[in-house]
Structure 1
């Protein structure tokens, strides 16, 4: 319901009721302006794009607090989101007053100190807040739309894949209780939390396979047991050498107990992230590989699978990626190109033909 009426002071009063029956009104000097405003409001009501002009008065931080309480996040994700929301310069600004220029200025300020990947992580969180506000009809548009982020380094430039010789040095330098841990990351591609969460019963020594069904995550000062990230539960097929190392580790360091006992422990408790990081720093220092991260061993494993001719889906499943797109986005540069495959095929043809040529020439 909408109407326009002339006021005693000569102005025109335009009013309408929204979908819940709440009345809204504005005053205009000209009737044509009042009619134009009513037409715009009516169109937004009909198309479902109507936003209550008073709704966007809630501040960014207030809306985030209510919205975040409904999200199904693991503690680490919540910690990252809380930090991102608390450090934006527009935390106390009403949602409807935040402009794209405010987002651009924030991203620009972050780029002076943070890596492009970190900026993207924070931006994605903030963008999710604004998208939720749009979905709740608090604001008409997402101010993050069209904001350009700093360019990330190409995967082939940013990725550090250790060499076989470096991995060998790391294994030799590791403490005897930590050697199997390093091997599990290098020859099974486990993430740090996944390797820390392995229990003895997860290893099937006869079938030579490992079931990845949990990870350890820091929850404040405590260590929590959770499912692997992005639902990446999987079965990893282990090489004989790794099975032997794991069996020897069990024999020496955890020979007795229930199947759900932890494979790697320190002072009777599973290895939390700080304990792993401390041991890893000692290991890489002793090996003379100070720049190699523990996660680089996962890249080493992936590169080995690709070099052996494994397809995208096989690598995806082995690494526990949610989609093959994630695998390609990370490791596409490691797969042979069309030129490589063509050259290899032609080389095989040439080798066969030349071998026959040599035999014929020798017979003559």
Structure 2
């Protein structure tokens, strides 16, 4: 129950109880200001946006330091969240003073130097913390809600898919140990970290399958960290015969490494991390005289091949290890044939059948109208 009382010094004390039942108070020079303040408190309580004025001094940085250790996150998520919050320009602004303009300024600054996708990812990570603060009643509302983000290029324009000729020339130019690594990306769709983390026991040579169950990440000091695959995308990949043969020859001629029998070796007996692979990929591109491209583009090459062969969304999703089919569609929808494409192909097949049929086999059939 709220009340207003005049103090001996002539000021007005507005009193109310917070959500825990503790009495709170704030003083005003005028009774009308105290009344309006309590009315705002009452309205905020009714619409669920009440925030205790005494906690308004909390900041994103202080809240994140308390909140993040309690979250059940993969190590990759921890790193991404830390980077986003640490680089946030308003992390030290008190929640009671935090405005949408702070978020807009941060987004604008990021967009000057970072790719749209990176800006979006960092915004989503910081937004997760802000919304947690709202749920904890430290913020009345999310100041990032509705903030405009830089527009990313459409997938059909931004995606680079190497040609079969380019992939072939790169494979021929690759060093003996590196060739199977490139092949795992191009013909099994593995991410860089997943390919680096392959162990001999992951390969079922009889069933022609590969169990993707870990990835390599670069840690500080040049060390590596072995974690679960990205977004929990552990999966079974079905391998073509030629790739199985290449992996078997690699294990026989180059060998495996350490007690874990890593298929590929980096520094200090560890599997290679992204910097090592980037060096060898760049070197291989130069040797092949190929256009500059990312190793990750081989994953798009693999996906495009599956789609061209008629694989449906669920099949491609499982092969790539996407958590949701919507991710597959958002990334590759432009590669699937449309209804118009299928109609055009079917009509072309009909025409081909007509014009290639022997002359004496052509018959005219009269069909009665129904």
Q: 1:320 matched to which residue of 2? A: 321
Structure-2 residue corresponding to 1:21? 21
Q: Distance in 2 between matches of 1:270 and 1:14?
A: 65
Q: Which moved more, 1:121-130 or 1:46-55?
A: 46-55
- Report the counterpart of residue 143 of structure 1 in structure 2: 143
Q: Cα RMSD (Å) of the superposition? A: 2.3
| Structure 2, gaps ≥5 residues long | 365-370
Give deviations 1:288-328, integer Å, cap 9, x for gaps. Answer: 12411110000000000000000000000000000000001
1:89 is aligned to: 89
Contact conserved, 2:185 with 2:191, CA < 8 A, in 1?
Answer: yes
DSSP 3-state at the match of 2:70: coil
Equivalent runs, 1:341-356 vs 2, <5 Å: 341-356=342-357
Q: Are 2:288 and 1:287 aligned?
A: yes
Deviates more, 1:307-316 or 1:118-127: 118-127
Give runs of aligned pairs for residues 210-221 of structure 1, distance below 5 A. Answer: 210-221=210-221
Would you say the 8 A contact 1:76–1:219 is kept in 2? no
Deviation of 1:115 (Å): 1.1
Question: Shift in Å at residue 31 of structure 1?
Answer: 5.1
Change (3 A) 1:67 1:232: same
Preserved CA contact (<8 Å) 2:174 2:284: yes
Q: Which runs of 5+ in 1 are unaligned?
A: none
1:209-260 alpha-carbon deviations (Å, 9 max, x no partner): 11111111122232121110111010000001111111111110117987x4
TM-aligned CA distance change 1:119 to 1:237, over 3 Å: same
Q: CA deviation at 1:285?
A: 1.0
| Residues 257 and 264, structure 2, Cα contact 8 Å, conserved in 1 | no
Is the CA contact 2:171–2:179 (under 8 Å) kept in the aligned structure 1? yes
Partner of 2:339 in structure 1?
Answer: 338
TM-score under structure 1 length normalisation: 0.92
Deviation at 1:30, TM superposition (A): 6.0
Contact 2:194 2:216 in 1 (8 A): yes
Which has the higher mean CA deviation after the structures are superposed, 353-362 or 102-111? 353-362
Matching residue of 1:115: 115
Aligned partner of 1:299 in structure 2 is: 300
In structure 2, do the counterparts of structure 1 residues 14 and 56 end up closer, same or farther at CA, with 3 Å as the change threshold?
closer
- Of residues 324-333 and 345-354 in structure 1, the stretch that sits farther from structure 2 once superposed is 345-354
Q: Deviations along 1:178-205, whole A, 9 cap, x unmatched?
A: 1111111100000011101111111111
Query: Which range moves more in the overlay, 320-329 or 33-42?
Result: 33-42
My pick for the range that moved more, 204-213 or 72-81, is: 72-81
Counterpart position of 2:206:
206
1:270 aligns to what SS in structure 2? Answer: coil
**Equivalent in the alignment of 2:368:** none
Partner of 1:226: 227
Q: Determine the structure 1 residue equivalent to 2:367.
A: none
